[in-house]
Amino acid sequence: MDEIITLDYGSGGKKTSRLIEQTILPDFDNPALNALGDGALVPGSGTLAFSTDSFVVDPLFFPGGDIGKLAVCGTVNDIAMCGAEPKYLSCALIIEEGLKLETLERVLRSMRGAAQKAGVQIVTGDTKVVDRGRGDKLYINTAGIGFQKFVLPGLQAVKPGDAVLVSGTCGDHGTAVMLARSGMMDGDVRSDCAALNRLSEKMLASGAAIRILRDPTRGGLATTLNEFTEGQPFGIELEEEQIPVRPEVRAACDMLGLEPAYCANEGKLVCICAADDAEDLLAVMRSLPEGENAAWIGRVTEDANGRVVMRTGLGGRRILQKLAGAQLPRIC
């Protein structure tokens, strides 16, 4: 570990994992936290799903979304990936002195609209103001509670031959934010920021043998799949030509020197399911706007234990490792 925290530790990649595993987990050791999901299932009156997340995106507004919409959708999605129905959110605002009131009002209207669309309520919150120069305009923390409706067996149920599905095009959010940050906002690249609870519920209600769901946010598709395979007796083999990427996103990534598989998504999910159910499940996903570009992108394999391997369009193979460093800091 380094002696100081750098931006790399917020990338969602190797240093984030090291910080969590070596510094944070030892002080808060419990089974729910050790599972390292984005949300946790905890006992109560029935089983509750609980999640918390903080949002520090720069800039506050970007094509397709803003920090308010992102805060609602991000926490809703973490609950949904547990097989639960999101119901209630908290909202904590950390505001830097000097923020324009009209900016805050615009963010709050966006949060209201996103919550209404997702079918959740913001029921509690907190507001703090810090000195000018001690923050960066606005940070938001949201926590969410939902009720478990479906049981996902998790990684222990994953088998060689299982299908790897993604609900749509990859890299939209990270690319849109980076273009907005750089001032190069011409073109049609927009964030995919969206709530996925309607999509996940329809998928889980279909009866398909779904092993695990995850939204590939920081670190993108490649890092999320590495989290699946890390330390496991199986690997994942992807077909590069099957991974949906918008042409404008690919062009922007080429210009910025980015890899779409590592760019953040805020309105997509990754699913591992039984191969026999994959085509039917894709039809279910494509029946909703949130899954209209869903694709079967790879399989679980015994040939690459613990690794994610990409079969390229030229017939070669390359290993996709977990993101190292901060490719896109302050992305969510």
> Domain map of the chain by residue range?
38-148, 155-319
Phi, psi of 136 (to 5 degrees): -135, 75
Tokens of 138: 């606005």
What pLDDT score was predicted for residue 27? 62
What pLDDT score was predicted for residue 20? 79
CATH superfamily of domain region 155-319: PurM-like C-terminal domain (3.90.650.10)
What pLDDT score was predicted for residue 12? 66
What pLDDT score was predicted for residue 86? 97
Q: Give residues with Cβ within 8 angstroms of 24, minimum separation 6.
A: none
Strand spans (E) along the chain: 40-44, 46-55, 61-62, 65-66, 84-96, 121-130, 138-148, 163-166, 210-214, 235-239, 270-273, 295-301, 308-311, 317-319
User: With respect to CATH, is domain 38-148 assigned 3.30.1330.10?
Assistant: yes
Q: Are 192 and 220 in contact (CB under 8 A)?
A: no
Q: How far apart are CA 34 and CA 39, in angstroms?
A: 11
What pLDDT score was predicted for residue 290? 98
Q: Give residues with Cβ within 8 angstroms of 170, minimum separation 6.
A: 216, 220, 221, 243, 244, 245, 249, 260, 261, 263, 265, 268
Amino acid, single-letter form, for residue 55: F
Length of the chain, in residues: 332
Tokens of 317: 């193979």
Tens of each residue's pLDDT in the chain, 332 residues? 677 767 677 666 788 787 778 876 776 666 766 777 666 776 776 789 999 999 999 999 999 999 999 999 999 999 999 999 999 999 999 999 999 888 999 999 999 999 999 999 998 888 898 988 988 999 999 999 999 999 999 999 999 999 999 999 999 999 999 999 887 755 689 999 999 999 999 999 999 999 999 999 999 999 999 999 999 999 999 999 999 999 999 999 998 888 999 999 999 999 999 999 999 999 999 999 999 999 999 999 998 889 999 998 787 899 998 877 666 678 88
Phi, psi of 188 (to 5 degrees): -115, 20
What pLDDT score was predicted for residue 269? 98
- DSSP state for residue 162 in the 8-state scheme: -
